[in-house]
Amino acid sequence: MPDQKSIRRKAAEGRQPERDGETAGVAARERAPGHAEAHTRERALSGVGMTPSGDGDLDVYELLDKSAHAALSHLTLGIAPSALAAAYTDWMTHLATSPGKQAELLHKSWRKAMRLGAFAQCQLAEGAKDPCIEPLPQDHRFRDVSWQTWPFNFMYQQFLLQQQWWHNATTGIRGVSPKHEQIVTFVARQILDTFSPSNSPFTNPEVQQATMAEGGANLLRGARNLAEDVVRFATKTPAPELAEFRPGEKLATAPGKVVFRNRLIELIQYAPQTEEVHARPILIVPAWIMKYYILDLSPHNSMVRHLTEQGFTVFMISWLNPDEADRDLSMEDYRKLGVMAAIDAACAISGSPDINAIGYCLGGTMLSIAAAAMARDGDDRLASLTFLAAQTDFREAGELTLFISESQVSFLEDMMWEQGFLATEQMGGAFRLLRSVDLIWSRNVHDYLMGKRMPMFDLLAWNADGTRLPYRMHSEYLRKLFLSNDLAEGRYIVEGRPISVSDIRVPILAVGTEEDHVAPWRSVYKFHHVADTQVTFILTNGGHNAGIVSEPGHKGRRYRMAVTPAEALYTDADNWVEKAPLFEGSWWTALVDWLDGKSGEMVSPPPLGRDGTPYEAICDAPGTFVLKP
């Protein structure tokens, strides 16, 4: 816990909206430049907040709540107990008053018991029988042939039937809110997966076979792996194999220069790889929820290298990895110091009056905010927009919304208020829960029961190089976008006035991935009705990261692509999938073809930075911000 002086300072900075005229005046003075620090010192020295009456009492009580929630968050991994309690109360109350649903569940339980009994009887008598339930397509835990022998086939069949019954028990109850139903179903699935027979050496035939073959050496290696991971987690020490994947050495090696730096970004301009380049440059805006070099991994799968080799001038933003000192960075700071500053630099260095912009994930959302504000204000420096797994409408943002509610956001705000940011491990835990079977339980079996280590590779090393999110920015992001959906509904404010994505008139290319748990492709598809312009949509196989990093020559890659003119009638996502033609190979080739017609004539490459301007070359890529742990 922080000391009292620190607590009072954070309480002053993190106060809620004003409750009366007097408090509003104090809050306004606190927000005034140069006044916040002096006022905070005055409050700390005078003991405001410790008096028995007046506005100060509110600070003490609010401080108690914030401190309690922050302390509790360390035990709950950032999950608000109140959010879970509300969901389970809603579910249990309606289930208790639904005798029909209870009877249905009892009947299903009896039928499943009979099916399992028949399966066991046939197995014991005949030695072979088709399973009475098949795992879901994405569930790979029971695919090994050893699971088809007695008694292991009985164990996993029982588990899958139980999992199916609980899904029936948590869904389809009249009166339960959809959000609460999703939460209860999700949590029930997490609990059940904990007790999967694949997780125990006593019920997993693959582990037993390995143990017999190796004389238990696999379990000894697994125990050592577990001990190493516990120490690394406690000391926040990275795995030693990550050392060879340091950015600038094996990853993020595309040649270039940092040509601009402010307190929030370094702007990288990449060296040309052709004698002539397109006159109109490309600016890539990656998400600050990740390090930028997801788009410049190894030389063979670097999107940056691929684009420069096709004759494009490429700029890329590298975001600061914030710490407690950056707690008050806002969404507006990310727009102005990030996207707008980078556009200014790219135009000044290239000499082009406009650019093509690409935004990935949260970077795409911020790019859409900037583009809508520019359209409103008559700024025509964007010639085209490409959005990679990016959302502007958050009403159907997938399972990630399970962690987004007023209760959960308030809890997260109190957790971030204490430390000034959302930590990497706190954010990563939520993403791992979305795919807990693959990212938690199957990995535990692999590392600790089979005693193996997954070989380190570029995408895995990048994934381990996490970032933090500033307190204020992340709070605004969750409230304005996820909770209120202000951007899609025309209420998002930029410089005192609302913006609308529908004001964007330049051509849009939007890319969704089939297995995306972060930005589901149907949510990305909504560009068709939030933007009033031509939309080219690509749906590629893979997930949020692997589907985007899809270089030519990558085996098994395919995509669908279709163009919807601005004047065309709306087609829903499911009908679009049925009609859009399927192409084999990497969607990067389609991106290059699309950009070719929007990038101007071929000219001599611009210099790497411009001497005598604010955009002189500072250092070699990948710069310094990306190296900050």
User: What does R_g of the chain's alpha carbons equal in angstroms?
Assistant: 27
Query: At 124, which amino acid appears?
Result: L
- Write the secondary structure of 198-223 as one string of H (helix), E (strand) and C (coil): HHCCCCCHHHHHHHHHHCCHHHHHHH
Task: Tell me the C-alpha distance between 428 and 15, whole Å.
Answer: 27
Asked if 336 and 360 touch (Cβ cutoff 8 Å), the reply is: no
Triad 547, 553, 557: Cα angle to 5°: 35
- Which residue spans within 321-439 are E strands per DSSP? 355-360, 382-388, 421-422
CA 343 to chain CA mean position, Å = 25
Task: Tell me the C-alpha distance between 290 and 510, whole Å.
Answer: 20
φ/ψ of 560, rounded to 5, equals -110, 145
Distances (CA, A) of 6 to 3, 9, 366: 5, 5, 32
Task: Tell me the C-alpha distance between 210 and 454, whole Å.
Answer: 17
Task: Tell me the C-alpha distance between 256 and 170, whole Å.
Answer: 54
Task: Tell me the C-alpha distance between 86 and 58, whole Å.
Answer: 26
Length of the chain: 629
* Cross-strand bridge partners of residue 318: 266
Cis before 2? omega within 30: no
Residues 6+ apart with CB under 8 A from 398: 516, 517, 518, 519, 520, 523
φ/ψ of 422, rounded to 5, equals -95, 120
Question: Which is nearest to 132 in space by CA: 122, 113, 119, 144?
Answer: 119
φ/ψ of 316, rounded to 5, equals -140, 135
For residue 410, what is the enclosing H or E element?
helix 406-419
Task: Tell me the C-alpha distance between 520 and 395, whole Å.
Answer: 11
Tokens of 157: 């069949």
Question: Which is nearest to 296 in space by CA: 435, 462, 167?
Answer: 462
H helix runs in 77-151, sequence order: 81-96, 99-126
* Cross-strand bridge partners of residue 18: none
The angle that helices 99-126 and 152-170 make with each other, rounded to 10 degrees, is: 170
Q: Side-chain half-sphere of 5: how many Cα atoms within 13 Å?
A: 4
* Cross-strand bridge partners of residue 584: 558
Asked if 541 and 556 touch (Cβ cutoff 8 Å), the reply is: yes
Pairing of the two strands 282-285 and 355-360: parallel
Whether 347 is catalytic:
no
Asked if 391 and 365 touch (Cβ cutoff 8 Å), the reply is: yes
Catalytic residue among 122, 132, 347, 361: 361
Asked if 459 and 546 touch (Cβ cutoff 8 Å), the reply is: yes
User: Any idea which residues carry the catalytic annotation?
Assistant: 361
